[in-house]
Structure 1
C-alpha cells in the first residue's frame, strides 16, 4: 500500500469517508486546501479528492511534492489546472456518467416545479388560499425543449423530454450525427425556438455567461430556463432583470454564481425555484462515484490503468 495520506478537499458523505478509510489514510479539510489543517503534512499527501467547482490550481499542487493523483468527484473538472498537472507528472481523473440519470431527473423536476408553480402554490395553499391559486399553468407535453449541450446529461434530459411528449432541439458546436433532434447553431436561435431551455453544458471560461440577456430575450415571456450545469453559465444579473420584468416566465436553478451564497436578487422572486447544487446527489449516483474513486486510487497505488483519465 502507498504510504501517505489522501486529502479530501471537499465536503463528502460519511459513506464516502467510511469506504475511503477502510483502505487509506484519509485527512479531511473542512476549510478546503486554503483552510489547511493542524494534521496536514503536505509532504505526505499522494492523492487529493476535489471537484470541478473547488478545483486545484498549479500553486496548490506545488504545495504537495509527493502528489501523484487528483480525483475529481463527479464529471466536472473545470477549475482543475490540467496543464499544470501534466507538467508536474500528476494524474487527474474524473467520474463522468456516474450521476447522469439523477441530474436529468432533477432537471425535469425543476421544469415541472417552475412551470406548474408547485412550490409557490404549496406555500399559498397552506396559508389558506384555494380558488385564487387554481389558475391554468403551462405543461411539458407539446412544448419545445431546447438543450444547451448534448453530452451524457443533455441526452438524458432530452430522452425524458421525449417521454413527456416534448419536441426536442439542441445546440452544440457541431451537429451530432446519431440523433434526429433539430440542431441550432447557437444558444440565441435555440432559445427563440424553445419553451423550456435546459442548460447542460460544461462550465469554464468558454461558457461563462453563455446564457445572458440575448438568450433570455430570445426565450421570451412564455419561456422557462433551467440550469443544472454550472452557475457561471448563466449571467445572474441578466437573469434577475428578466425574472423581475417577467421578460421570461420563470427559472429553475440547481446552480448559481457565488454559491453557496444565494444572490440577493434571486432571494425574493416568486418565479424561480432553487435547489442547493444537489441535482447529481442520490444514493445510486454516490455509490457509482465512490466506486470510480476507489478504482482509480487502487490503480494509481498499484500501477494499474486509470479510468476517465484527464492527465
Structure 2
C-alpha cells in the first residue's frame, strides 16, 4: 500500500535516529545494503521518492527518470562523484553533500594508516604471532623532521595538516582551488610535493581531471621509499602503476581505504601484496560522523524541499 507521506529513499539499510527525527513528515524507505542499479530503479518506480539520501551505490539518469517527483539527491557524506550531476542538472534535481561532516573521522583514519605504515604495525604483529622477536633488527620510520605531502586541502586535509605539524613534520599541500593555506602547511606544486614528501596523503575529489592523477609518471617523481595513503577516492590512483612502484621500492608502503570498484572482493589485485594496508572504505564511518552525516543529509533534503519548485521554461 502506497504511503500517504512523501517518500525519502535511503540507499542503505539504516539512518541515524537523529536524522530520522528530522524526517518525521516523510516515509523513509531503505534500499538495503549495497543496492544494485536495478533495485534502486525498481524502488523509485514503486515509491516515486521526492528525495534520495545516498549512502551506497550510484545514482544515474535511469534511476532519476524512474522518480518523476524527485527534487533532491543528498549525499550521506561529501563525495558526490557517485551521482550523475549533469543528468541531475538537466532534470532540475538538486545535488547536495555534507562537506566536513566526517572530516574528523577521515583525518583520524588517515593518521591510523600513516602510523601503521611508518611503524610496521601489521608485519610486526604477524611476526610476533609466528614466534619472532625482531627488536635487534627492526627500525621504524620516525616522522619528526620528515615531510608530509597533502594533495587536497579541504576540511579533511586541513585536519591532517595540523596533526602532521604536531608530529614535527614539514607539511606541503597541493590544492589549486584553495583560497588560503593554514599556518601548518606550505603551498606546493604537485611535482615539488611528490619529489619532497616522505608521506603522501590524498584528500581531493574524483573528477575527470583527477582520475588516475597518481600514475606511473607521477610515481616516478616520488622520493624513493615514500608512503602513499588514500582515504579519498579509489579512482585517483592507477592501481597497476602503484603495484609496480610498490614492487620496485619507489613506494615502500601504501594504505588504501577506497577503490575504483567497490566493494572489493576476492580475488583482487592487492590480495597478495604484503606492503599494502587495506580497509573497506570506512575512514569516514565513526559513531559521531554517522550522526553528523545523517543529520546533514536530512537537513539538506528539508532545505531543498522547502524551496519553491522550479518550473522549466516553456515556449510561448
- Contact kept, 8 Å, 1:230 with 1:255, in 2: the verdict is yes
1:296 — aligned with what?
300
Structure 1 position 7, deviation (Å)? 1.4
Determine the C-alpha separation between the residues in 1 that align with 2:296 and 2:118.
36
Distance 1:281 1:111 in 2: 18
Structure 1 or 2: more helix by fraction: 1
Q: Are 1:273 and 2:277 matched, yes or no?
A: yes
**Change in CA separation of 1:36 and 1:77 when aligned onto 2, cut-off 3 Å:** closer
Q: Secondary structure at the match of 1:226?
A: strand
Structure 1, unmatched stretches of 5+, are: 305-311
Structure 2: 5+ residue runs without aligned partners? 309-316
Helix, strand or coil: the match of 1:71?
strand
The normalised TM-score by structure 1 is 0.87
The alignment yields a C-alpha RMSD, in angstroms, of 2.6
Q: 1:212 aligns with which of 190, 210, 215?
A: 215
Is the contact between residue 191 and residue 218 of structure 1 (CA under 8 Å) also seen in structure 2? yes
Matched residue, 1:96:
99
Offset at residue 64 of structure 1 (A): 0.7
Q: Tell me: CA distance 1:2–1:208, structure 2 relative to 1, closer, same or farther (3 Å).
A: farther
Whole-angstrom CA distance in 2 between matches of 1:208 and 1:44: 33
Q: Which residue of 1 aligns with 2:109?
A: 106
Residue aligned with 2:144, SS: coil
The number of equivalent residue pairs is 302
Query: Aligned equivalents of 2:112 and 2:212: distance in 1?
Result: 24
Matched, 1:248 2:248: no
CA distance, structure 2, for counterparts of residue 97 and residue 118 of structure 1: 29
Alpha-carbon distance change, 176 to 145 in structure 1, aligned in 2, over 3 angstroms: farther
Distance 1:137 1:97, change over 3 A: same
Q: 1:27: how far off?
A: 1.8
Q: How far is 1:157 from its partner?
A: 0.8
Specify the alignment match of 1:58 in structure 2: 61
- Offset, 1:172: 1.7
Q: 1:236-292 CA distances to partner (integer Å, 9 max, x unpaired)?
A: 111111112222111111112222125723111221111110111111111111111
Larger mean CA deviation between 192-201 and 57-66 belongs to 57-66
Any conservation in 1 of the 2:229–2:254 contact (CA below 8 Å)?
A: yes
Q: 1:60 to 1:37 in 2, by over 3 A?
A: closer
Q: Using structure 2 for the length normalisation, give the TM-score.
A: 0.86
Judge which range, 261-270 or 113-122, deviates more: 261-270
Residue 70 of structure 2 corresponds to residue 67 of structure 1: yes
The match for 2:225 is: 222
**Equivalent residue of 1:264, what SS?**
coil
Tell me the residue number matched to 2:311: none
